[in-house]
Structures are given as C-alpha cells and as structure tokens.
A and B are shown apart, each in its own frame.
Chain A
Amino acid sequence: MTLDVAWADRWTRLSAERITAARDELTELDRQIGDGDHGENLDRGFRAVVAKLDGSASGEQPPAQIGDVLKLVATTLMSSVGGASGPLYGTAYLRAAKVTGLAELDAQGVVALLEGALEGITARGKAQVGEKTMVDAWQPAVDAAEAAANAGASPADVLAAAADAARAGAGATVPLVATKGRASYLGERSAGHQDPGATSTAILLEAARDAATA
C-alpha cells in the first residue's frame, strides 16, 4: 500500500467518519473539563472537509498531491470549527502539508508529516508535554514514528506505531493536571479525566493508520 494522494483522501474521509462516531464521546470528555463543544466542533469541521473534497471531485481541480489534501483540510478546519481546535488542527495540517510536497511518502516522509503537525500545534498553542493537551498524544506519536522509521519499518508500520503511541498518550493524560487551555481553569480538578484534544488526536492518527491498510 503506497501512501499517496489516494491514501490522504481515504485518511481524511475515514477521519470524518470516526469523528462523527466519536462525537458524543468527545463532547462528554470536553464537558467534564472544558466547554463541551469539542465533538460538535470537530464533527462540523470534518463534515465541511468532506463536502469540499466531494465538491472538488465534481467541479474544481481535485487535490493532486498529499500536501494539497492536507492544505484543504487545514483551511477548512480553520474556517469551520470555530473553537480553538480549529486553528490548532488547522495549523497542524498546514505545517504537515508544507513538508509533504511529494507524490508519495516513504517512512521518513511519514515522520516529517507528523513532525510538521506537532510543530504547528506547539507553535500555535504554546503547550508542552505534560500539560494535558493534544501535545501529549502528538509528541509520543512523533517519537514512536521516528523510532520505527529508524528501525526500518514500512511507511504503514510507521503510521501504526504513531497511532498506537498517540492512543497510549491520550490515555496517559487521565491523571494529569491541566495547565494550558480552558481545562487549566479547573486546576487539580482536571485530574481524573482524559483530555479531549489528545483523544481526537488518537482518533485521527488511527484513521491514518487504517487508511494505509484498507
């Protein structure tokens, strides 16, 4: 399975499906430590992304490269999400797009994509590991992807390593006390809940993994 523009298209559509399915779960997580709109916002954003993909399939020029798909996701999420996850994920996809002006990704290309995304999120949100944010899923995902790529894994296996690490990272946010974003207003009371942004990160990277083996 090559990671090409068709994969990027599948990844995006699968992300939308999974986010819709997880909408209530994300909203419930966000209701506990945030303002309860994460599921709804991301669902709206990814529905708009799919509508754009469909629109470009019928009328406009379809995205020719992986980077074009990622850029479409970036601008659409920024425009349609409304909350902070819009610019955060938007910048992540945007930076990921900048480092993947390629027709096809090899293992190092997957690492570069993930590194770009992480860099975008930290540039925009100014969060670090351990602050109970989406960075707590992205950072282990990048670390695991690098390790896998350096060990000679296939591009799909690099994605799988990243997705597994993101899921574990999301789970590991449960005991953390939030020090960034809305949840930080709760202080110690934010402990005991899984971070919604880290959870949606895991969902998106699992979709990337599954789109590569579909």
Chain B
Amino acid sequence: MSAGPVGTRARVALVLVSHSQRLAQGAVELSAQMAPGVLLLAAGGTDDGGLGTSYDRVSAAIEEALQAADGAVVLADLGSAVMTVESVLDMEDGFDGRVRLADAPFVEGAVAAAVTAHGGGDVAEVLASAEHAGGTFAVGAETPGAAEEPGTTDGEPAADGGTRAVVTLRNPLGLHARPAAVLARLVAGFDASVAIDGVNGASVLELMKLGAAGGQELTVTGEGPEAADAVRAVVEAVEGGFGEV
C-alpha cells in the first residue's frame, strides 16, 4: 500500500484511550478539528460506560483502525489505561509492528499526532510527533493589546529570492490551535522546509508555542524545491485570516 496524496487518506489512524468515555471522545473531537480526514477512534470507559478502561473497546478500536489504515498510534491517559493498551498489544503480538503506544501527554500528543498523520506521516513519524509534544507544548506569553484590533497586511510580501516573506496576522485571536493546524497541514503538503518565526512550520505545537497574536508580524522562510510555493501559500493563508476576519 502506498500513501495517498495529502488530505485524501492518512496512512496512520489514531486510537485515543481514556478512563473516561467523554474524555476520549472530546480528544477525538479536538484532534479532528485539527486534522480532518484522519481516522480517530475513541476507546474510553468500561464496557458499561463507567470510569475505567476496557480491553474489548481498546482492542476493537485498534482493529477498526487497522482495517482503514496501514498502522495506528495509540495514546492513553493514565496508569491502567496504559496497562490495558499494553495488554492488547501483548495479546496480539503488537499487530506485526503496525501499532505503537505513544509515551505522550494525552491531549497534546493526540493533536500533534493527528496533524502529522494528516500530513502523510508513517507510524514512526506520527509516534515521534506525539512523543515530542510534551516538550514543545508550552504556549508562549500572549501580547496584550496586540489582539485588540485586527491586523492589516503589509501588501506585497517582502519576498527575498521567493523564500522569505513577512506577513501580518489579521485574525484577532492570532495563531491559536486551529489556524496553527491549518498552517502545519499546508506546509506539510509541500516538498519544502518552512520556518515561521524560526520554528518548524509543519509542527502545530511549535506554531502554537509562538503565541503569535493578531496584528503580529510573522517571518516566513522556506528551503527546498517547492519553497517559493510553500511560502506564498502560507502568506495567502495568513492574509486570508483563517476565516476569522
């Protein structure tokens, strides 16, 4: 099986395991907003819907994931949820290496993994994305005042050989989770390495960590074969205001 084009079918599905059915479903809902088209499955609560984890629910979700995707990355919230996932993987001998349990914070890891899966990452890449989430998810200080008025574009991007541009965030809320995910997905679709204010443009968490507020200028740089197109696309997306202006 080969990877489909970005956005049509992710190679990796996510299974989110929580003691709480509602927590698992909420994490699926949040991640789905960041990464539409990625198969996200909730396995929360006991068989009767109480607090706890169910071997059957976890096992069924993993099997469903593997029917639709090449592999699956699992995130779990607390002690016995982790133990239950480990038990399922043990029992099935790791599903021939197609399933991995991430040692990652539940919500942050799920969001990061979903966006990487959306970009066409394989199991190892999605796993790494989840596991790096804990260290990168510290939202930077917001700049009070800057969010008060909508930003204005500064007209033509200050192109520098087609790989560098400066653009002003127009939407009042700035680079919060949803726009960060939009940009990260966009960047992942190009054969280029894009940095936004010096951080990896393909990482939703690094973008969120910038804490960029409305009205703030962002410096976009790109390297690689499609760098010019990638930078232009980022500038257009930012100027479009992410549908929030």
Contacts and interface: CB of A to CB of B under 8 A. Distances in A.
A88 interface: yes
A79 interface: yes
Q: Which bucket holds chain A's interface residue count?
A: 10 to 19
B172 interface: no
B80 A87 contact: yes
A164 to B, nearest CB: 29
Interface stretch (B46-54, B193-201, B211-219): B46-54
Nearest to B53: A82
A197 interface: no
A87 B46 contact: no
Interface string A136-171: 000000000000000000000000000000000000
Interface string A54-89: 000000000000000000001100111111101110
A97 B55 CA distance: 17
A94 B79 contact: no
A31 interface: no
B80 A78 contact: no
Contact of A94 (B47, B52, B54, B87): B87
Interface of A is mostly: helix
A124 B87 CA distance: 8
Interface string B76-106: 0001100110111011000000000000000
B47 A87 contact: no
Given A90-B87, A91-B90, A124-B83, A82 B51 contact: yes
Given A83-B52, A94-B91, A78 B46 contact: no
A86 to B, nearest CB: 7
A74 B83 CA distance: 13
A102 B90 CA distance: 21
Contacts of B55: 75, 78-79, 86-87, 90
Contacts of B50: 82
Contacts of B84: 78, 86-87
Contacts of B46: 80, 82
Interface in A86-108: 86-88, 90-91, 94
B68 to A, nearest CB: 23
A87 B56 contact: no
Nearest to A126: B83
A126 B57 CA distance: 24
A67 to B, nearest CB: 13
A124 to B, nearest CB: 5
A209 to B, nearest CB: 27
A84 B87 CA distance: 12
A80 B91 contact: no
A130 interface: no
B90 A94 contact: yes
Contact of B86 (A79, A86, A124): A124
A83 B47 contact: no
B87 A91 contact: yes
Interface of B: 46-47, 50-56, 79-80, 83-84, 86-88, 90-91
User: Closest 7 CB pairs between A and B?
Assistant: A82-B52, A78-B55, A87-B83, A84-B80, A79-B55, A79-B56, A82-B46
27 contacts: A74-B91, A75-B55, A75-B56, A75-B91, A78-B55, A78-B84, A79-B47, A79-B56, A80-B46, A80-B47, A82-B46, A82-B50, A82-B53, A82-B80, A84-B79, A86-B53, A86-B84, A87-B80, A87-B83, A87-B84, A88-B83, A91-B86, A91-B90, A94-B90, A94-B91, A124-B86, A125-B83
Given A84-B79, A94-B91, 5 more contacts: A78-B55, A79-B47, A80-B47, A84-B80, A86-B53
